[in-house]
Amino acid sequence: MSFPRSFTAHVFIGVSLDGFIARPDGGLDWLTERGEAAEGDLGYQEFADGVDTVVMGRATYEKALSFGRDVWPYDGKHVAVLSTRLPADADPRVTVHRSLEELVEDLEKRGAESVYADGGQVVQSFLRAGLIDDLTITTVPVLIGRGFRLFGDLDADIPLTLRSTADMGAGITQSVYEVAR
């Protein structure tokens, strides 16, 4: 499945060395509570400043809410949640979409230019649909053994071109890949 589009879509995500983005219970302690923290926000704020739209799944949305209802890191951005279960009127700060096709159509109507695809299911759906332009993957040197994987099954190979890899300190690396078209 491929969608014609005028926006670009980007991934910026942390992953354990064994490929997980969260523990089975959704926990991110392995990522957020490192004994030796790398300096700064690892480029997240600069990345976030460059996007006008955030797309996430229900689980990622609920994780964002768990930080506190008054803590909303997406002010000034259109936020879309791709979910078949979240009520359409769950939160006035988000637009809920039931299908990827509906979501892409709405992003086009809104004139989205730069989209941040966040969360495992959304990243996987966007990859399968050919919607991702580049991925910034920050790898944390820890093996957590199980949880939610960043990548799932694909119908075909998705060739990537490595643009850069940086040592972020504390054993953390960050690699930027462009999806080869």
pLDDT of residue 155: 87
Domain-located, residue 23: yes
Domain-located, residue 1: no
pLDDT of residue 33: 76
Tokens 């080869």 correspond to 180
Q: What is the CA radius of gyration of the chain?
A: 16
Structure token digits, residue 7: 């926006």
The residue segments making up the domain with residue 82 are 8-179
pLDDT of residue 119: 94
Domain-located, residue 130: yes
User: Can you give the pTM of this predicted structure?
Assistant: 0.93
pLDDT of residue 38: 53
Domain-located, residue 2: no
**Which residues lie across from 20 on neighbouring strands?**
149
C-alpha span between 99 and 43 (Å, rounded)? 31
Residue 168, domain CATH: 3.40.430.10
C-alpha span between 35 and 9 (Å, rounded)? 32
> Per the structure, how many domains does the chain have?
1
Domain-located, residue 141: yes
Phi, psi of 36 (to 5 degrees): -105, 95
Nearest Cα residue to 171 out of 17, 2, 5, 7: 17
Domain-located, residue 3: no
pLDDT of residue 36: 54
pLDDT of residue 32: 79
Is 30 in contact with 140 (CB distance < 8 Å)? yes
**Chunked mean pLDDT (size 10), the chain, 181 residues:** 86 96 92 65 92 96 85 92 96 96 96 97 95 97 96 92 95 96 81
